Chain A
């Protein structure tokens, strides 16, 4: 056999439909690389010694790890009894509660922060109760307390959903077998339920740790000082307030290094799992019930309800105040509103289009068993996960500042960075449906000759409309609530709703802030409802 050049094999296996996705993936990777490089021009080498010898850097590094570890521990630990209780019990409003769980992860951070402040803040509901009894709130929400509270608020429901999904995957026969063998609560948990949870545990914990480690808006809003600062926030402060690009670059490089190591670590641990939106498992048959077990389960359900529901409720209640019409007639509000919609709409469109083409390329490889190629092309496009959005926006700004006017560029940069940040989530949610579609229909399409536009419309769009629209909504909501890309570019002339909310919170205009928080909440939840309504399945009659 003649020696075959691997490159020739690669080119021969490449189908035309894969080329756009391949180019996009490489393009995105280079785009990020160039942006990061622009910033690194200010810090040619990573001086680990400089970081390790400086007490402040050492402090924020330790703090980043410390708060992320604690947040992860709390979220995952409490998720075990809560998901178990939710799994065993049926009650009125369970479906709604699970829907609320799904919203906490995509909810604009500042809306959640506002809701938490309204309950646990210095002038919140809890403080009011303490005051009634002539005492004062024994803790302050600013600092580590608040960061942990917010992170648990976001991630505990997420972890619960992951575990619940794992528990729902237990076959009915196993429950019957357990009953038949006389396994009661503790033994059934140990031998049947725990193995399911523990299989999800590393993946869930890894993901949550990563999210908390690079948390930005939460720490910015609730950190309350240099004592509670993460690396991500320190980058922002260095660039925005001190315009110290060298420090910014150094910290960014440090952050990228740590995140890369973490990402590789998580990749090793994790099994891929896809999360369906409103998954309802088979009806659980539960034979050995007891009064004590009921109490135990419902206490946990009450705990999680008390964590999730009041802050969201407070956003609604506080938002409907006397300032409502004052804010809604303010031109500043409408400008921010317009910018938010523009950014979110285009970022979502770009993210979903890119993901679609990249997955067209990767699924072709998966079809013929070349999973290595497929993983790599998808990984190139998700490089943003280890690169702080802030670093990319700064890099882009440095690159482009000679070309155009600052404020005219800002909009495009924010759109691009938001699209990039949404891309990993979109890829994750579309990859399985698109692969299944190809597995089912690839040969059929080839044999009857359905290609290109026809293939897209009749096969992909018609079959995958739901997941595609959900991905659009998801990236829209992520972008509409994002603060990290806009934080750097925001000014009096250029603002978005989250930034406007942040400014109002900063100047203690709580009533106006409440209105904005409500608008953002309605926008985030509303877009899912509206899109679902607009694209309801309609059967067409043929002639």
Chain B
């Protein structure tokens, strides 16, 4: 469903090369050391940066000419996912209409999704009146009301404690399944990947290995860099 063909990108003397394919309905963990290019992969897909050469296709159609908001995906950043001067309701509603003019159907959808994410009682509050976890839930609700087939997570839960982080990821997974959404999540916690992902891709010094089933994510893998990375992470 998502296909990177010979995609090249350069930034500050570092070059990136991606050639990979993601199946519809999977939850893919993007793993790798800091600076390897995990976020670069997401940014290329989201359209914040443009590749020097190569092709990115979603459902067999090129998306390179599309602006970020036109692409069939929603994204959750590490921080600044919410406008701090707008209420939770307004923040979610911006995902449905950029001028907040919702019709009855959209309002219904907003309330349904808020219930599914578990924030229906928080809609009147400003972000400052919410905990870190609640804030990211509101942002997640906005991603789901946008009704796009792909969800990108750029470590949105990394500031939360380990228990809450896994709980959030699990609820993302069940919602994604419910709405038939493909998820790409950047993480550097092996534990997160093992507990929610169906597949993984390892990125090392700007190059992605193939997308593999999550069961292959162990120290008997034939890639030495991946094994080193895994043992270092597991010993933490």
Contact = CB atoms under 8 A, between A and B. Distances in A.
B106 interface: no
B48 A446 contact: yes
Interface string A449-467: 1110111011100110000
Interface string A233-253: 000000000000000000000
Contacts of A443: 48, 68, 77, 80
B81 interface: yes
B195 interface: no
Interface in B26-74: 46-48, 67-70, 74
B87 A542 contact: yes
A448 B86 contact: no
A268 interface: no
Contacts of A448: 69, 74, 94-95, 98, 142, 146
A462 B85 CA distance: 7
Nearest to A450: B98
A222 to B, nearest CB: 46
B28 to A, nearest CB: 19
A536 interface: no
Q: Contact residue range for chain A?
A: 20 to 34
Contacts of B93: 542
A454 B46 CA distance: 21
A538 interface: no
Size class of the contact patch on chain B: 20 to 34
A290 interface: no
Contacts of A455: 98
A173 interface: no
A447 B75 CA distance: 7
Contact of A542 (B74, B90, B94): B90
A436 to B, nearest CB: 11
B83 A449 contact: no
Interface string B146-170: 1000000000000000000000000
B98 A454 contact: yes
Contact of B85 (A446, A449, A454, A463): A463
A541 interface: yes
Interface in B117-161: 123-124, 142, 146
A305 B67 CA distance: 59
Interface string A418-448: 0000000000000000000000110110111
A449 B124 contact: no
Given A454-B99, A458-B94, A458-B99, A447 B83 contact: no
Contact of B124 (A440, A441, A447, A541): A541
B179 interface: no
A536 B94 CA distance: 24
Contacts of B98: 448-451, 454-455, 458
A180 to B, nearest CB: 33
Contact of A458 (B68, B70, B83, B146): B83
Q: Chain B at the A interface: mostly helix, strand, loop or mixed? A: loop
A459 B83 contact: yes
A446 B83 contact: no
B18 interface: no
A405 B82 CA distance: 55
A446 B86 CA distance: 17
A467 B90 CA distance: 22
A541 B123 CA distance: 10
A459 B86 CA distance: 9
Given A440-B80, A448-B95, A542-B124, A458 B69 contact: no
A539 interface: yes
Contacts of B67: 446, 449
A443 B139 CA distance: 14
A461 B47 CA distance: 26
Given A450-B94, A459-B83, A542 B77 contact: no
A15 B68 CA distance: 15
A70 B146 CA distance: 64
B69 A447 contact: yes
Contacts of B107: 543
A444 B81 contact: yes
B100 interface: yes
Contacts of A540: 87
B68 A447 contact: yes
Interface string A381-394: 00000000000000
A542 B89 contact: yes
A299 B47 CA distance: 63
Contacts of A462: 83, 85-86
Contacts of B174: none
Given A541-B124, A542-B87, A446 B69 contact: yes
B84 interface: yes
A448 B47 CA distance: 12
B86 to A, nearest CB: 6
B77 A444 contact: yes
A453 B83 CA distance: 16
Given A454-B98, A458-B99, A458-B100, A444 B68 contact: no
Nearest to B76: A447
A437 to B, nearest CB: 9
A447 B74 contact: yes
Interface in A232-278: none
A451 B70 CA distance: 13
Most buried by A among B80, B86, B98: B98
Contacts of B99: 453-454, 457-458
A463 B82 CA distance: 12
Interface in A46-100: none
A441 B80 CA distance: 7
- Which residue, B67, B69, B124, B142, has most C-beta atoms of chain A within 10 A? B69
Contacts of A539: 87, 124
A451 B83 CA distance: 15
B68 A446 contact: yes
Contacts of A440: 80, 84
Contacts of B85: 462-463
A373 B219 CA distance: 51
Contacts of B77: 443-444
B114 to A, nearest CB: 11
Contacts of A450: 94, 98
A541 B89 CA distance: 10
B80 A444 contact: yes
12 contacts: A440-B84, A444-B81, A446-B47, A448-B98, A448-B142, A449-B70, A454-B98, A454-B99, A458-B86, A458-B100, A459-B83, A540-B87
Given A454-B99, A458-B100, 9 more contacts: A448-B95, A448-B142, A450-B98, A458-B99, A462-B86, A463-B85, A540-B87, A542-B89, A542-B124
Interface of B: 46-48, 67-70, 74-75, 77, 80-81, 83-87, 89-90, 93-95, 98-100, 107, 123-124, 142, 146
Closest A-B pairs by Cβ, 9 of them:
A449-B69, A454-B98, A463-B85, A446-B68, A542-B89, A450-B98, A440-B80, A454-B99, A462-B85
